[in-house]
Amino acid sequence: MTAVEDVPKNWSRISWNHVSFICPQSWQPLEVGQRYLVLEDKDGPVMEVKWGPVKGRFSHKTQLKKLASIHQRKLAKTLEPCELPPKWAKSVKGFDASAFSWHGDDAGAKGLLLYCPDCRNASILQFFKEGAAPSRVLESFRDHSESGFGAWSLFDIYAETPDQFQLTSHSFLPGKFSLSFSSDSAKLHLYRYSPASVLLANGGLEGFARSVFSDLPGEPAFSKHMGWEAVEFEKLPGKGLKGVLDKLKIRGAWARYRLWHLEKENRILAVVMEGRKAEPDLFDQICAHYEIT
């Protein structure tokens, strides 16, 4: 998968925590949760999607009741199953699907409950505006990957991370984006900073790295990453008894930091990985698939 794969002109790909779909470029993230997204355009919210694993038997009726309980009482009374539009049905082949609608004084939506028998995930998608876009969004909707790597494409970043790393936290603030992941033996952090021209003005990449990471190990190593200026710091496993004790702690044995400057995009990207053992090849692979779109 790549950041621009199968994306029509004036459309964007959104990928987040195993879910992926394309949408008009005018649809931008409004709310971002672990398994929750709301997109908006200039007039307000246009789409909401929630997803998660299903334990036991999946029931459309049960899921619809849960959805109704989320809404205000007066809206819950109007939420009901409806006929699956033919264009939508054609777009979601491979899913167990049912449709619903609800309306209130100032808002309403038509949506789908989707269940994937392969990965046992259930998804609820709601569209707050009618038109041709929902059918195209649904046609592109995926709730799992078969490559062993998950894609993350939101705002102006694109990344791929191994499936063993689970998202633990995220933050999208002006000037700083961060995604943090954890596996059984390692932790992974992705950062995006801007504007680089201001942040690098006084100390360059090394100075900036030391200003944002207080415990950088060793001496800086300057290099090129995919043609961009980069700096790295690495902590190697200790020797003897210290090395044995270090490997008992996720943060103890090995850590590697890489920051690089995308001059044209005026961005700084950084990858930090720490774990019980050195995994330089995996680290390089993650860095190679982290970019600005």
pLDDT at 145: 86
Same fold, 11-140 and 152-292: yes
pLDDT digits 0-9 by tens, 228-252 = 999 999 998 766 555 555 555 555 6
pLDDT band at residue 133, thresholds of 50, 70 and 90? very high
Cis bond upstream, residue 195 (ω within 30)? yes
**Residue 173: which residues within 8 A CB-CB, separation 6 or more?**
none
**pLDDT of res. 240:** 53
CATH of span 152-292: 3.40.1000
CA separation for the pair 121, 60 (Å, rounded): 13
Tell me what pLDDT residue 239 has.
Answer: 65
| 4: pLDDT strictly greater than 50 | no
Give the pLDDT confidence score for residue 26 in this predicted structure: 96
Q: What is the mean pLDDT of residues 205-219?
A: 94
- Assign 3-class secondary structure to the chain: CCCCCCCCCCEEEEEECCEEEEEECCCEEEEEECCEEEEEECCEEEEEEEEEECCCCCCHHHHHHHHHHHCCHHHHCCCEEECCCHHHHHHCCCCEEEEEEEECCCCEEEEEEEEECCCCEEEEEEECCCCCHHHHHHHHCECCCCCCEEEEEECCEEEEEECCCEEEEEEEECCEEEEEEECCCEEEEEEEECCHHHHCCCCHHHHHHHHHCCCCCCCCEEEEECCEEEEEEEECCCCHHHHHHHCCCCCCCEEEEEEEEECCCCEEEEEEEEECCCCHHHHHHHHHCCEEC
- Give the pLDDT of residue 269: 98
- Mean pLDDT, residues 24-31 taken together: 96
pLDDT above 70 coverage of the chain, percent: 88
Residue ranges covered by each domain of the chain? 11-140, 152-292
pLDDT at 154: 96
Q: Quick one: CATH architecture of 11-140?
A: 3-Layer(aba) Sandwich (3.40)
pTM: 0.88
- What percent of the chain is modeled with pLDDT above 90? 68
**Phi/psi at 87 (nearest 5 deg)?**
-65, -35
The residues, any chain, with a CB within 8 Å of residue 251's CB and separated by 6 or more, are 187, 274
pLDDT score, position 1: 44
Contact status, residue 127 vs residue 47, Cβ threshold 8 Å:
yes
For residue range 247-282, list pLDDT tens digits in order. Answer: 555 556 899 999 999 999 999 999 999 998 889 999
